[in-house]
Structure 1
């Protein structure tokens, strides 16, 4: 395509003459074109950089997403393990150490030796320092708790070896066999009295079963009560020593006598409906130091962890006792 030539009318010569641009105008025009191209290029590149990811950026984003997913899984796993260790701590302090009359591990002792912020200074230079420091600290705390718990169990093993007689005496089984249970009627705590319809503290657990079902002594001891008592009808009380005693109420028949020494698992009577009762069941109490405690913490010879959780659920479900 031929380049267009521009003309202008010269009034002095009365002729059309060719338009000739000066060197300065040509230079300005070229600079104008260059400036426009430059601005357009900068705008285009800026938009592309902020909106469109490069292959390298896409790869990095995928890696970050994978790392975030793995971290979430790791964090959940750490949380689950921490919950397990916490449950072990509670059982250690509130059950095992109570049984052996040992001092519980204090919260300060659980925290002993946890690393301070300076321990993680080497991780601060990482691109993901906050994430790495948080995860490392949680793992350190979990490892320390597990170490202390391991030492605690070593201590308890020694206590077991030194207290065989005590272990045989402490209530540690259900007074009625699982295979003979109809259902768990009521647990320890405040319940509605079935006769008086008032809210009353229920100091034991009720096990419903057929009349005549065997009732077992839950630990070695000496029978201190074996007869008719107000409210509980045919009742047996066993003194196990070490501050422990157990009560068995509403029996249809008593199979022991005052002063008799009994062994854990020995039949001491049979389920009935005597006394202030609204159906055949056994009312069972555990006393420590003369005060009632929750019997559910004293079935550890009988129940697996899963069975223990099920028993706990059943015992708290019914808001009304049978006596």
Structure 2
């Protein structure tokens, strides 16, 4: 129960009861409520600035964890970039060089992404810079991996072609050294055995007894096995692909036929003295893109360094050919 208050009225010389007006009471209540509201708002504001709610703490931990994950991601991208850079260096300096392919330009490997802003949706956040940079690096890394993957696919194809090329080109002596009497004449100017005139000899003559086996010097397809070429007598021609053709002349007999596929080292015929020949021997020629070239450079497959040196010395002598 509220207390009743009085005041002393000097005119009537008596105590009179204090009557509180309703308007004033409403005013006091309004001021109290307003002050309370302001105080409450101020309290909430200060609390929000200095006191974290459980939800805010959880979000803050989540944000901190996200930043840590992005930092770890960037570290892993650095490591991946180092590994990829090593592969790219070997790709350009070893693999592509060995297979005679042009190196991939650096600007092509590490080109960025021009044009539209592909990271616009990631802008406007507190960590937008970190997120955008991570996405950008990831995109460039993915592009580099795609470029490198395609390069390795190309290298694999070139390796298969190289393997086929190395198996195809002439690379062995067509007559075994054990069955060879001597290397009679090499590529270059020699004396014609019939006219005694100095003329150019376009092949190499290997002297051997009649019937000595003759072997294919590389993989290929027999294009001719006949005696319809002037001077060669019975002869065989093998197309090795890549512009190379080998010719084996003055044969005694054939062991292959036209259009037959042969492998390096296959027995294709036998030494003879057919056609324009002075004695049993094998006349051996190599064509590259239709031009006859020196066969001396195509024996790396079965001759040692000493044997090749001896053959080179004998082939360089300007003597009399056998055809």
Q: TM-score, structure 1 length as denominator?
A: 0.51
Displacement of 1:248 after TM fit? 0.4
SS of the residue 1:236 aligns to: strand
- Partner SS state of residue 193, structure 2: coil
Q: Give the Å deviation of 1:159.
A: 6.8
Specify every segment of 5 or more residues in structure 1 that has no aligned partner in the other structure, as ranges.
1-98, 104-157
Q: What residue is the counterpart of 1:241 in the other structure?
A: 241
Residues 193 and 290 of structure 1, relative CA distance in 2, 3 Å threshold: same
1:100 to partner: Cα distance: 7.3
Q: Are residues 102 and 252 of structure 1, via their aligned partners in 2, closer, same or farther at CA, if it must alter by over 3 Å?
A: farther
> For 2:287 and 2:101, how far apart are their aligned partners in 1?
18
The 5 A counterparts of 1:32-43 are none
Distance 1:298 1:280, change over 3 A: same
The reply to whether residue 175 of structure 1 matches residue 174 of structure 2 is yes
How far apart, in 1, do the equivalents of 2:258 and 2:292 lie? 22
User: Is the counterpart of residue 287 in structure 1 residue 287 in structure 2?
Assistant: yes
Give how far 1:254 is off: 1.1
Match of 1:255 in 2: 255
* Number of equivalenced pairs: 173
Q: Do structure 1's residue 271 and structure 2's residue 271 form an aligned pair?
A: yes
Give the distance between the partners of 1:288 and 1:298, measured in 2 at CA: 12
SS at match of 1:317: coil
How far residue 162 of structure 1 moved from its aligned partner, in angstroms, is 5.1
- Compared with structure 1, are the counterparts of its residues 101 and 187 closer, same or farther at alpha carbon in structure 2 (3 Å cutoff)? farther
CA distance in 1, matches of 2:100, 2:236: 26
Task: Write the distance in 2 (CA, Å) between the matches of 1:241 and 1:281.
Answer: 26
Alignment gaps of 5+ in structure 2: 1-97, 103-156
The structure number with the bigger radius of gyration is 2
Matches within 5 A, 1:174-213: 174-213=173-212
Return the offset for 1:308. Answer: 1.2
Q: Contact 2:216 / 2:266 at 8 angstroms: preserved in 1?
A: yes
Q: Is the 8 A contact 2:248 2:283 kept in 1?
A: yes
What is the RMSD computed on CA atoms of the aligned residues?
A: 2.4
**What residue in structure 1 maps to residue 321 of structure 2?**
321
CA contact (8 A) 2:189 2:318 kept: no
Provide TM-score, normalisation by structure 2.
0.51
Q: CA deviation at 1:315?
A: 1.2
Distance in 2 (CA, whole Å) between partners of 1:223 and 1:102 is: 31
